[in-house]
Structure 1
Amino acid sequence: MDLGAYRPVLANRDTRGALLLGFFIRVPMWAGAVILTLHVVSSLGRSYGEAGLVTAASTVAVAISGPWRGRLLDRIGLRRTVGPSLLVQVVCWSIAPWVDYASLIGFAALAGLFVVPTFSILRQVIIRSVPAEQRRTALSLDSSATELSFMAGPAIGVWLATAYDTGWALLVCELTSVAAGFVLWVVNPPLTSETSTPATDEQGEAARADAIATAETGTGASEGTASSGAPRAVRGFITVPVAAVYLAAACSTLVLSGTDVSIVAALRTFDATQSIGWVLALWGAGSLVGGLVYGAWHRSFSVFWLLGGLAALTLPVALAVGVPTFAVLVTLSGLLCAPTITATVEQLSRLVPERFRGEMMGWHGSAMTAGSAFGAPLAGFAIDHGGWQWGFVVVSVLGVLVAAAGLVAARRFRGEPTAADEAKGPGADSERGVPAASMEH
């Protein structure tokens, strides 16, 4: 482990700016999610289940919009994608805090469809701004910054919702998020190394469209070209190995969302509901430490090894007999959260040609959202029928099975060239921390 690996990454102005901007964008985002739930329950007098429906409507909309918004980033650039989103966000969140329950669901869903794809944008900036050998370290820093914002955002949201009217708190928080998105629009960081700014004139748009068409049909000699020996691609970049990484991303958030629900259920069973906040903070701290260690490590690991480790570390939490042992085991279970998410992004960035990176990140976000949406009810069903321990057991066992299946399936594709490999020519893998076509090492 070499902590000095972080020095050149943090010395890079683009990377440093993306990390700071990402933190300040995500804090109001996490806070807004908490305030929205409290607004439905306290101000509108609805149940937590009905508050969950509002969150579900927004979550489904975000999942649907991910690939679409990512494809727009690839085709027309940051400003032309983000600009309309900012306008829709301002309109929706200026009205939503003052409407009834049914209307709030509609506004939340509309805002979700036009959400600013900040995760996709900032990770693209980070991937573009560092050399390949520093990519894992930079992405680990982004995951760690996300953990910090997640630890701060909900606490700020609860404070705002209890100290002020939830309608005004929701308005201020969401418009702060829009303001952060506007800063991103103004800065307009380049997303790929192919061009520093999106094509804006007629000639540039034609060149961009031609490049995308060439990559999708595989007829050019560009980065996106693949030989007949490469895995067949869907939409220009989704091969079987890429789809497998998306499955791993979905399963990782399935484990995490199931763990989240199970933590709450366990502490309620221990009659320690007041401990939920600090136990969740310890879980996040474990992830933060794990992310920093993984970023400083001397090599990358397959996402399936990390997923299997995440699930295996989560399983022993079911053995806790009280709050002290539970807190320790939960902290340990968080160690591989950030590394697993980092590995999915890093591996996709090596498997997918750069010109598809926006859509790649969009599908990645949708996969993680889908896993989260499935994990919580799965763990809830297990808890209802067997107790809080079974919430941890079910999601852990499923995670281990998916990880094992991924490692076995990866052997089939070992040595097969990817689209990116074809462009780089022989010996390209020697420059990488992880072989592009192998998900086992």
Structure 2
Amino acid sequence: MSITPYRSVLANQAARRALVLGILLRIPIFGTGVLLMLHVVEHLDRSWAEAGLVSAVATLAIAVSGPWRGRLLDRHGLRKVVAPSIVITGSCWAVAPFVGYWPLLFLAGLAGLFVVPIFSIARQSVIAAVPLNERRTALSVDGVGVELAYMSGPAVAVWAGHQFGTAITLFALQMLGVVGGIVLWLLDPSLREEGSATADAAAQIPRSEWFRPAFVGLCLAAAASTLVLVGSEVAVVAGLRQWGESGSLGLVFAGWGVGSILGGLYYGAMSRGLSPYFLLAGLALVTAPMALADSALTVAGLAVLAGVFCAPTITASVEAVSRVVPAAARGEAMGWHGSCMTAGSALAAPLVGMVIDGHGHQSAIVLVCVLGLVVALAGAAAAALVRSRRSQLIPAH
């Protein structure tokens, strides 16, 4: 694997700044989810079901905000969108850790609606900062950054919550996010390539021009990828609990993360990209053998293999969206893409939970992998059909 493509991307100051900001602003988002549930259970002395409701409300609010805030980014630019987010989320989280359950539920939902759309901003600014031939490499680095934030955010948040209390930790974590939002507002990175359409043009692009089957298929593939990832994670947690090896959960998740980072770096260095449907099928196929594991050590080894397809699958779908959607509408498109990923992860937990209760964690892993494979095959077949029809419409010379 050559590191030359990465040298070029990391030598680019605008790309480097966007990548670092993306990691720093995602850590509070990933850390808040598990910390918020612990806060409800331990600090407010509520049930896990009530904690899950708060998490679900916050997650749903973030999913709803994605396309809406993304469209505002297209029309009004970064600063006019981020400024209200800083004020509203900062105000909500300055109060939320220190109130009762029902006010917390409301404030978490309101903050979720106005969360800084960092996933959309980070990916757009990374795309804008590099030439087309370096886009996949840059997005792969961003994917690795997401993995690092995903691995470190919850671990640091839980540790700090146990050391200093969940209320003060939740407050500090969110204030760090506010500081990050202020830095983002001050730097105001470009969200479009030089020479692309202006924000005024975004309002003139009908959604019907790009919200077409090709884009919808990519969003469904994104949802299916998180369904496989989160569904298998929940099932593995249940399996470890059944075997009495819950203490090995960190080892398994570390294997997943290491595999994802290695896969993402390798994919970013490839001379040509791969179809997101092909990678989704690969993700489903390499995750399925985890259903055969009978110990934490076996699961950890298989998690490394499954992780190899994680980051490349997400990177390929983001790159494909950037190709099929005009630059002036990319904010909203990335918002829809991110919301579909959130929807896939939100669907995974209850679906897998029902299967685990009725048929065991092995069946749950098989189910999400089969669903992922079905979406991959359907998406690939639809894409091939569209290409065939286009070739027939091109007149012969």
What TM-score do you get using the length of structure 1 for normalisation? 0.86
How far apart in 1 are the matches of 2:47 and 2:247? 21
Query: Is 1:137 aligned to residue 137 of structure 2?
Result: yes
Equivalent residue for 1:371, pick from 344, 350, 356: 344
> Alpha carbons of 1:136 and 1:208: their partners in 2 closer, same or farther (altered >3 Å)?
closer
Query: Is 1:146 aligned to residue 146 of structure 2?
Result: yes
Please state how far the C-alpha of 1:6 moved relative to its aligned partner.
Answer: 0.8
Structure 1 gap ranges (5+): 199-206, 217-233, 419-441
Residues 68-124 of structure 1, C-alpha deviations (whole Å, 9 max, x = no match):
100000000000001011000111001101111111110000000000001100110
Aligned to 2:310: 337
Equivalent residue for 1:290, pick from 252, 256, 263: 263
Amino acid at match of 1:252: S
Aligned to 1:212: 202
Contact 2:40 2:101 in 1 (8 A): yes
Bigger fraction of residues in helix: 2
> Aligned pair count?
392
Structure 2 gap ranges (5+): 392-397
Q: Secondary structure of 1:414's match? A: helix
Contact 1:74 1:358 in 2 (8 A): yes
Comparing 10-19 with 25-34, greater Cα deviation is found at: 25-34
Aligned counterparts, 1:115-126, within 5 A: 115-126=115-126
Amino acid at match of 1:153: G
CA RMSD of aligned residues (A): 1.8
Equivalent residue for 2:275, pick from 286, 290, 302: 302
Aligned to 2:365: 392
Aligned to 1:86: 86
Please state how far the C-alpha of 1:327 moved relative to its aligned partner.
Answer: 1.2
Aligned to 1:63: 63
Please state how far the C-alpha of 1:154 moved relative to its aligned partner.
Answer: 1.1
Aligned to 1:383: 356
What TM-score do you get using the length of structure 2 for normalisation? 0.95
How far apart in 2 are the matches of 1:208 and 1:130? 20
Equivalent residue for 1:280, pick from 250, 253, 268: 253
How far apart in 1 are the matches of 2:203 and 2:353? 45
Aligned counterparts, 1:144-183, within 5 A: 144-183=144-183
Aligned to 1:74: 74
How far apart in 2 are the matches of 1:408 and 1:195? 35
Equivalent residue for 2:380, pick from 407, 413, 422: 407
Q: Secondary structure of 2:320's match? A: helix
Aligned to 2:395: none
Contact 1:97 1:171 in 2 (8 A): yes
Contact 1:59 1:369 in 2 (8 A): yes
Residues 402-427 of structure 1, C-alpha deviations (whole Å, 9 max, x = no match):
11111111111116679xxxxxxxxx
Comparing 146-155 with 50-59, greater Cα deviation is found at: 146-155
Equivalent residue for 1:325, pick from 271, 294, 298: 298
How far apart in 1 are the matches of 2:390 and 2:68? 28
Q: Secondary structure of 1:299's match? A: coil
Please state how far the C-alpha of 1:212 moved relative to its aligned partner.
Answer: 3.1
Aligned counterparts, 1:28-47, within 5 A: 28-47=28-47
Percent same amino acid among aligned pairs? Answer: 50
Contact 1:161 1:169 in 2 (8 A): yes
